[in-house]
Structure 1
Amino acid sequence: MPGAHYTTPRLAISAAAELAGMHPQTLRQYDRLGIVVPRRTPGRGRRYSERDVDMLREVQRLSQDEGINLAGIKRILELTERNERLVNEVQRLLGVSTGHRRVFTASATGDVVALPLGQRARQRAGEDSQRALVLWRPLR
């Protein structure tokens, strides 16, 4: 897994364009279209990370090798990023990264709440005492 430097925006547009094998004007167009949007310096200069350069290479691959138009590429990148966020959230909720398994319950508002294994949700005064915490266990 790449380190923190992978997402640190430190490359000027000329360096990022050279690493991606593209013209700087292409990077500006991708920025305007929202395909690969770099961070900005206080002076509004573009700064690209190594992750951005990898995304630029993927855009080029999808365009040239797969024949996908820029609108399709933008959608693919958006869905890929959304999927990564959802996978990370599921892993966080399940405690995969910490090694602590969790159980889930619903709050009074209906939100899902993660609890450490073996802990029950607190019952508020006046709530029906017949309510139970349901433990979900994956099939093995």
Structure 2
Amino acid sequence: MDRFTPVFAIAAAAELAGMHPQTLRQYDRIGLVSPQRTRGNTRRYSLHDVTQLREVARLSAEGLSLEGIRRVLQLEDKVQALEERVHQLERALAEERLMRPERRVFAAGSAGEVVTLRRGTRVRRNAEVVVWKP
């Protein structure tokens, strides 16, 4: 079981978040928090959902509208996804450096293409000057 496992019925999630169950239903309708559904179509909330409900309550208390809160949550999710992607790329880079210590991972070629070089070599640069006339 992890923090995304849907285990709480709406009454338990509402109590954990300090809200009324009807508020949770409203937030589900407008898309602020989207709990998973059982085969019987009842809502099941995870610890992540409860944390998000608490964040909604905090932002609401600070004066943000529900649309503003929805946008903040979307941006936070996007930031988290981008951070995860950066970590994936950092791991891939570290693995590549371990597997091929004699090679660079990449360099930009003269036309902008990605090329692999041996350590200590450089891409030949084009020194042409181009004059643009409108």
Give 1 or 2 for the bigger CA radius of gyration: 2
Mapping 1:43-58, distance limit 5 Å: 43-58=40-55
Once the 2 structures are TM-superposed, how far is the Cα of residue 14 of structure 1 from its aligned partner? 0.4
- Please state which structure has a larger fraction of its residues in strand: 1
4+ aligned runs moved over 3 Å, structure 1: none
**1:67 paired residue among 58, 63, 66:** 63
Gaps of 5+ in 2: 106-113, 119-134
Q: 5 Å matches for 1:1-140?
A: 4-64=1-61, 66-95=62-91, 101-102=94-95, 116-117=96-97, 118=100, 132-133=115-116
Unmatched runs of 5 consecutive residues or more in structure 1:
103-115, 122-130, 136-140
Taking a change above 3 Å as real, the CA distance of residues 67 and 89 of structure 1, as seen in their structure-2 partners, is same
Identical amino acids, percent of aligned pairs = 50
Amino acid at match of 2:80: E
1:133 CA drift (Å) = 1.8
Alignment partners' CA distance in 2, 1:5 and 1:49: 9
Change (3 A) 1:26 1:101: same
How many residues are treated as equivalent by the alignment? 106
